Chains A and B, each alone.
With several copies, the nearest count.
Chain A
Amino acid sequence: MATLSCSASDLGPLLGGAANATAAAAYICGQFSTVSTKLSDTTYAIDTTYLLFSAYLVFAMQLDLLCFVRVLTNAVCCYLIYSAFLTGLVYPVVSHWFWSSDGWASPTRADNLLFDSGVIDFAGSGVVHLVGGVAGLMGALIEGPRIGRFDHSGRSVALRGHSASLVVLGTFLLWFGWYGFNPGSFLQIAKSYGDGANYYGQWSAIGRTAVTTTLAGCTAALTTLFGKRLLVGHWNVTDVCNGLLGGFAAITSGCSVVEPWAAIVCGFVASGVLIGCNKLAEKYKYDDPLEAAQLHGGCGTWGIIFTALFAKQKYVNEVYPGRPNRPHGLLMGGGGKLLAAHIIQILVIVGWVGVTMGLLFWLLHKFNLLRISAEDETAGMDLTRHGGFAYVYHDDENGDISQKNGFMMRKVEPTSRTPPSL
């Protein structure tokens, strides 16, 4: 609101000659500052509205977790330690480095930027996805694959999640939430870029971010669809969903500073990265039920590199103002400084998370807290730890009621040709 500050001494001469010029000027300024206070209230209100609803959207992303609760191999108490450690220590340290105004690699630092540039990780391909991916990698490496994932000769056996509807539900909800994640990372919307065109400002940049996000995800989904069709031979909905999420994870870093067409490139490569990582994981007998390491780790890494290649100068200057001629994307003619900063980011994150989480999982493993017992796992954790299966479809009511309890249920065998007597 600096533009609206008003001082009586400035205004006084303008009103000239009149005897009570100063008084009039003071009065006008009084009026003016009232208006200006109201206006700044307005800005607060708009920004808060925007931020709150964006936060709600991000929250909605958590919904997705529920789809996968049932395939987690971690025991609950171990999971509590793990999540407390990850969200309480490992993640905040990383986000401090790249996002807080005095982090050593932050692009918003006042001076001494890393390679004059800092790391542009706008909404967190590295800070969020790569951290999560690496943590998952360490966990799954130390725990080893699920029982039955690889047979005696070491070939992989497909263990599929149990419901495609839930996967699709979760994917769409994540997509919905990503609109809070990426465009919401602007934190403010009422901000003009002041380059003459009044229709253009932060609100356009937010709209553009939403568009790049959409395009990257969709391209990745389609590429994965056709790629897997060529490789495996049928159209698979789970692959499409994973491809979509891979595209989103990749664009997260550069979403605000690239053109829409670059987002298509980003999504295209991301799906290649995802498929490649999956092949690699299978080869090395690495089992991650959700492909989290491949998806968030692999595509997150690609996203960081992608930003360093394609960031457009105009957008970089608008999003990180106050320092003209910042380095920008290598392929856009911005030199290699941004790329160098980003490669350092990848190395540092992998190192930090790898060491801390690796140590934690190793300790848990040593104390036998990490993995559930083999019998528990084959029976499924729902039965042993959670008091029964999540689904009870047709429990037997017509029989004697006294027998009925949580565990007695008649499973309908799909092999039987005769409909069950209901």
Chain B
Amino acid sequence: MVVSSWEESVTNSINTVYLLFSAYLVFIMQLGFAMLCAGSVRAKNAMNILLTNVVDAAVGSISYYLFGFAFAFGVSSDSNPFIGSHFFALKDIPNETYDYSFFLYQWAFAIAVAGITSGSIAERTQFSAYLVFSFFLTGFVYPIVAHWVWSSNGWLTASSSSELLFGSGAIDFAGSGVVHLVGGIAGLWGAFVEGPRVGRFDAFGKPVRMRGHNATLVVLGTFLLWFGWFGFNPGSFNKILVPYVNTTDQGNWTGIARTAVTTTLAGSTAGVVTLFSRRLLIGHWDPMDVCNGVLGGFVAITSGCAVVEPWAAIVCGFVAAWVLIGLNILALKLKFDDPLEATQLHGGCGAWGLIFTGLFAKKEFVLQVYNSGQLDVPRPFGVLMGGGWGLIAAQVVAVLVIVGWVSITMGPLFYALHKLKILRISIDEELAGLDVSSHGGYAYVDHHEDDQPLRYADYARLKEGSRA
């Protein structure tokens, strides 16, 4: 049949175009993280954090290619719900289920995880320890969680055709749990084992403010992350050319556009709420807080972006802002120091996002996303929307197992590195800044270092002299 084969070509092309460009957008988030981190640390450590972000991407590519993808999506008839076991080094790809474009998209997600954690342990970690942890996290810890929730035979999945956990499975559409909670909890353990930066709390235990060195970079990073999130959330549909049964002109394209809308609304709400509440709490308008608020909203909506109404996204963002503010106050109380607030932001808001989905998921949308819109399938949905307790139970289980799994893997790893004394740099190095001690110089070189004439006056005088 000529027509049908042409149709398949069209379908494949459109879906690939869509997925590839989404992957590129997600990739640009790595740049967003790099800029955000660079702007939020002190100038003397900027080079270090930039390097970690570049290396994240490079190391992550290799490890995810070699075995990460296999652990996450290596599904076949004999594979188990805990870990995948096929497609090492992209063997047998492309096949009927996965194409190269899918690998590229998942790769972009994987490198984002390590990007999140790098913020928590910034300014005081040895670079070699960072390499070890980044390789382990992207190559092993994250792929296994992804396998549970996203691959078709993971035990937490919501999209399998066989039996689902509590008849529902956990709905973590784009990864509030799989990506952000994993990154946040890894950061929690890293920051906890390392302890706060020197001088973060004074002799009386009062926190000393350590400001980032460049607010422009923070805003740049935030906008780039926002830009990238349009690949992260709507892109997680993977295919755009999937019509919904029982409708005339709706399909994944409707869902994708709705996802982009909910994402935007949640982030914006969280940003505005943070702006005003921080104004009330500390008394001035702080762009850094707004940026963190916006990101918190995005992290929270990531789980349910595809299955909630736009108004619910506003609720989500509102609560996310308060979760973030509350956790920040708590962290100060507990003398927990996370230079980029990654634990509070990605961990806290990520957990809230999973719960939120269990509360507000709408039946129609859940069926569209996971059953192509068939209306006769009985499945639990959001408890506040009258969908029973199945979904929220699965969501709570997801939060607990993710926290548990990351803790039992990353906790011991950080502890071992700590005991081997290769985790944290020495106090002297920390005071001098990592850029000088490990990277051969500062990130910024001012005019005067050349010891040359600087002002136009000097320049003119010099010209006079040479002419005379």
Contact = CB atoms under 8 A, between A and B. Distances in A.
Indicate if A touches B (C-beta under 8 A): yes
Interface of A: 3-4, 35, 37-46, 48-50, 52-53, 55-57, 59-60, 62-63, 66-67, 69-70, 76, 148, 159-166, 168-169, 171-173, 175-176, 179, 183, 189-192, 194, 197-204, 206-208, 210-211, 214-215, 217-219, 221-222, 225, 232, 234-237, 240-241, 244, 260-261, 264, 375, 378-380, 382-395, 397-398, 401-402, 404-408, 411-417, 419, 422
Q: Chain B binding site: helix, strand, loop or mixed by DSSP?
A: helix
A261 B88 CA distance: 12
A46 B436 contact: no
B42 A165 contact: no
Nearest to A35: B3
Contacts of A391: 213-216
Nearest to B466: A375
B154 to A, nearest CB: 23
Contact of B456 (A3, A49, A192, A383): A383
A4 to B, nearest CB: 7
Nearest to B33: A172
10 contacts: A163-B443, A163-B444, A192-B5, A201-B9, A211-B104, A215-B61, A218-B61, A378-B452, A387-B284, A414-B446
A291 to B, nearest CB: 17
Contact of A414 (B54, B215, B440, B454): B454
Contacts of A50: 13, 17
B284 A386 contact: yes
A93 to B, nearest CB: 23
Of B30, B50, B212, B226, most A-chain CB atoms within 10 Å: B50
Interface stretch (B184-192, B248-256, B386-394): B248-256
Interface residues of B, number: 120
A388 B209 CA distance: 12
Interface of B: 2-3, 5-18, 20-21, 23-25, 27-28, 30-31, 34-35, 38, 42-44, 46-47, 50-51, 53-55, 57-59, 61-62, 65, 89-90, 94-96, 99-104, 107, 127, 198-199, 202-203, 208-209, 211-217, 219-220, 223-224, 226-227, 230, 234, 240-241, 243, 249, 251-253, 256-257, 260, 282, 284-287, 431-433, 436, 438-456, 459, 462-463, 466
Contact of A207 (B50, B94, B211, B455): B94
A222 B94 contact: no
A206 B102 CA distance: 12
B13 A415 contact: no
Nearest to A405: B209
B219 to A, nearest CB: 4
B23 to A, nearest CB: 8
B58 A218 contact: yes
Contact of A199 (B2, B12, B53, B90): B12
A241 B289 CA distance: 31
A194 B6 CA distance: 9
Contacts of B15: 203
B9 A419 contact: no
Contacts of B199: 397, 401, 404
Given A50-B17, A63-B223, A236-B439, A200 B253 contact: no
A261 B65 CA distance: 10
A408 B20 CA distance: 47
A416 B2 contact: no
